[in-house]
Amino acid sequence: MTLNPRYHPVRRSTVCLSTDHEYLFDPRVQRKRCCTWKMQMVPVPEQAYGNFFEGDCYITTLNSTGQMDIHYWIGNTSSQDEQGAAAIYVTQMDEFLGGKPIQHREVQGCESPKFQSYFKSGMVYKKGGVESGFRHVDTNVYNILRLLHIKGMKNITATEVNVSWNSFNKGDIFLLDMGKVIIQWNGPESNRREKLKAVLLANDIRDRERGGRAQIAVVEGGCEGDSPELMKIMETVLGKREGPLKEAIPDDRPDLYQTSNIRLYQVSDASGSLVVQEVATQPLTQDLLHSSDCYIVDQGGVSISVWKGKDASPEERRSALSRAVGFIKAKNYPSSTHVEVMCEGGESAMFKQLFKTWKEKGQTRGLGSTYSVGKTAKVDQIKFDVMQLHACPELAAQERMVDDASGEVQVWRIENLELQEVPQNTHGQFYGGDCYLVLYTYMKSNKQQYILYMWLGRHATQDEITACAYQAVNVDNKYNGAPVQVRVTMGKEPRHFLAIFKGKLIIYEGGTGRAGVVNPDPGVRLFQVRGEQEWNTKATEVPARASSLNSNDVFLLKTEQMCYLWYGKGCSGDEREMGKAMADLLSKQDKQTVMESQEPAEFWVALGGKAPYASNKRLQQEKPLHQPRLFECSNQTGRFLMTEIDEFTQEDLDEDDVMLLDTWDEIFLWIGRSANDYETNEAHTSAVEYLNTHPAGRDPGTPIITVKQGFEPPTFTGWFNAWDPHKWSVSVTLYVFSFYTRAIIKATGIPAELLINKGPGELPNEVDPGKKEEYLSDADFELLLGSSRTDFNRLPKWRQNHLKKEAGLF
């Protein structure tokens, strides 16, 4: 099965990989699909993308932003020979491209979110295979009768099932496709978004397979009596329904897509035969991977990743995929287990997420510093320009700064479970025995924005912590839900929190700041000062003993007679200056500067004597590169699920749900306007569980930030490409009628199912048949037409009409 590789000018939709033909493959083409037929590769017409025959195997390639992905898809009834042939073709394609692509093994019904995201209108599973007649798509054939079972929320699939009432159930949606007429039957327990997604699929079938010459109609399963003519058609095809409908089928999906049971296996042929042996469990570190070998990372049977070292033997690299499949069988994992294969230097973002640390060659560290593998170089630090934040939201996101911290600050302490305002002259002083609320107000586009920080002391009581959360809700309500809420645990203060106190943030280990309460005087206190500028400096109390010192930092030792400023050998001039300023805040006593290794005897006596401490030269702390991940948190299927969204955009934020955005250093919970209380409460619980079970051993103190729809700060929006700040602005349009005036608020809109594929006589009285799109809610508008109202109105009229026709709104 030798392929003769040769570049050939090919269109985006065509590729031929065959044992009987030359290998026509152009990696410059962004996406191609072909399927195996009689152990050969045949091209799939572009209009048939998204249609999969269950008896076949398919290969899909995608080249985006310099990264190529090769997916091979296995149909449920495909033969072992076809599956093997597809795997061989993928391996040969990978070798031809120098091992750069990431290979993915996909199985029908268990496709990865990345693969599903390629087919925006959904995936259709068809019975049979290529040999049953799938050579091309004839848009003029109407001799069709099939029933499609629709499943899914964000990415839907449609499976051909028996054309019988026995295939129906209460919770899902079914398309009865009769060629010239397609009837969409919505189960009584199906939800709004599922219905809209099914409409899009029905429109896609009409346009791509019928050339736009088929009619689409909708029947609500809970109100079948409202559609007597359509029910007559259905009963003519399906017969009279006898007995009740089946109960809804729950989605077969784990509640969380990750598991903490991570194991690393080494694949080696050093002994003369290939051997797979376990070498580590989570949390994994990058130094466990050696270039001379291949490795398998087992994510608890949910997913298998294969890593190929650049110096591994050709046999190890070539057999990596087959070894992964054999590994799945040996572990008795489901045959649908997802497999991802990559080479050293071409790791996927998901793979890197499994490791505690990950560094790249030439990796950038923050603003102006770089990390080079195997080198130690002096790097010029570039000052952080806060004025760029709103002009560049991606910078705000990376730096976790919404502005220059010059806004207004209000601070309250929880006292007797109520709020007690903290005097301004003590702003920045936080005691470990207290809880605080900090409200920060700033201006953006001449409009006030708010951030509400909840600071929880390490030694605060559970009642105080609960009261802090309760009072935060009250403050949030006072500002009509506008504040972004940030939960801050002691010692894990985010950068912006430090900045708003202008270099005056002091954290005491215990005690309270309540008026009239005298805290026990320890006599000697030691504070560690970290930071080079006002916006990133804090002083944290540490145990007053020598072992707490660190050569890389500044420490303040406060005794009854003196305040010592101890400068470690590794601290910079800027750090020393901030230490001096912090010493003036902490103590009015005389100050004495102490250089490391030149300490007076009194200094060591105050610390209880000399003792070993961290004195190594400061090492560059390279920041792990972790791609942000977005999860949808929803109970629309009847139980709470977290579903990851691949290659996310702003359009993926669904106003009916709660979304979890993981940027590694912070967790954002985005609350849609129409999200229910159950989803909101469960999302908070799941965010904590997400951190605790993360395979990379994540810090459970990672800040969890709550963001409301329409009030997103740049630290959130910067993770999204081309964020539209006006996307969810509420506009009101008044329609004047001859007898009265009605106000239609677009944010609410008319349900889409009352507008789609409806003639003038079927529409609500107030709807203009020529402007159906104007009556949609903002969310439905974007879902059906694929753009915001602003972008849609910029399009030429012919393009608008084309989109309206595709969506059933023309």
At 500 the pLDDT is 94
Give the pLDDT band (50/70/90) at residue 260.
low
Instruction: Tell me which residue of 655, 642, 662 sits closest to 716, measured CA to CA.
Output: 662
> Quick one: which of 100, 87, 102 has its CA closest to 326?
87
Q: Report whether pLDDT(583) > 90.
A: yes
Position 298 pLDDT exceeds 70: yes
pLDDT above 70 (res 304)? yes
Residue 178 pLDDT exceeds 80: yes
Q: Render pLDDT for 29-43 as a digit per residue (tens, 0 to 9).
A: 344 455 555 567 777
| Portion of the chain with pLDDT greater than 90, in percent | 20
**pLDDT tens digits for range 691-724:** 887 877 788 888 889 888 888 887 787 777 656 6
**For position 725, what pLDDT does the model report?**
67
pLDDT classification of 141: cutoffs 50, 70, 90 = low
What confidence tens digit (pLDDT) does each residue in 620-648 have? 333 445 778 888 877 655 556 677 777 67
Is residue 737 scored above 50 in pLDDT? no
Mean pLDDT of the 488-511 span: 90
Q: What is the pLDDT of residue 274?
A: 63
The pLDDT of residue 117 is 78
SS3 of 330-373: the string is HCCCCCCCEEEEEECCCCCHHHHCCECCCCCCCEEECCCEEECC
Contact between 342 and 351 under an 8 Å Cβ cutoff? The reply is yes
Structure-token pair, residue 444: 């953006």
Cα(60)–Cα(119) distance, integer angstroms: 11
Predicted local distance difference test score (pLDDT) of residue 635: 66
| Of 140, 114, 102, 115, residue with least CA distance to 52 | 115
Element (H, E) at 93: helix 80-96
| pLDDT at residue 128 greater than cutoff 80 | no
The whole-chain average pLDDT of the chain stands at: 77
Q: Examine the pLDDT at 497 and tell me if it is beyond 90.
A: yes
- The whole-number pLDDT of residue 36 equals 53
Of 330-334, 496-500, 523-527, 645-649, the least confident: 645-649
Percent of the chain clearing pLDDT 70 (strictly above):
79
Residue 429 has pLDDT above 70, yes or no: yes
The residue among 384, 379, 380 whose CA lies nearest residue 367 is: 384
What is the pLDDT, as a whole number, of residue 168? 93
What's the average model confidence in pLDDT over 442-461? Answer: 89
Decide if pLDDT at 681 tops 70: yes
Average pLDDT rounded to a whole number, residues 412-416: 94
447 beta partners: 444
Which amino acid, one-letter code, is at 726?
H
User: What does the pLDDT average to over 105-118?
Assistant: 82
Query: Which has more confidence, 550 or 15?
Result: 550
* 332 Cβ contact list (under 8 Å, min separation 6): none
CA 376 from chain centre, in angstroms, equals 34
Residue matched to tokens 């400061």: 618
Sign of torsion, CA 138 140 145 149? positive
pLDDT of res. 63: 66
Residue 603 has pLDDT above 90, yes or no: yes
Q: Quick: pLDDT tens for 338-373.
A: 888 888 887 776 787 778 767 766 543 333 333 322
Strands 262-268, 294-299: pairing kind = antiparallel
477, burial (CB in 10 Å: exposed 0-12, middle 13-18, buried 19+): exposed
pLDDT in tens, 43-91: 777 777 888 888 888 888 776 555 678 888 888 888 888 888 888 888 7
* pLDDT band of 7, cuts 50, 70, 90: very low
Tell me the average pLDDT across 669-690: 82
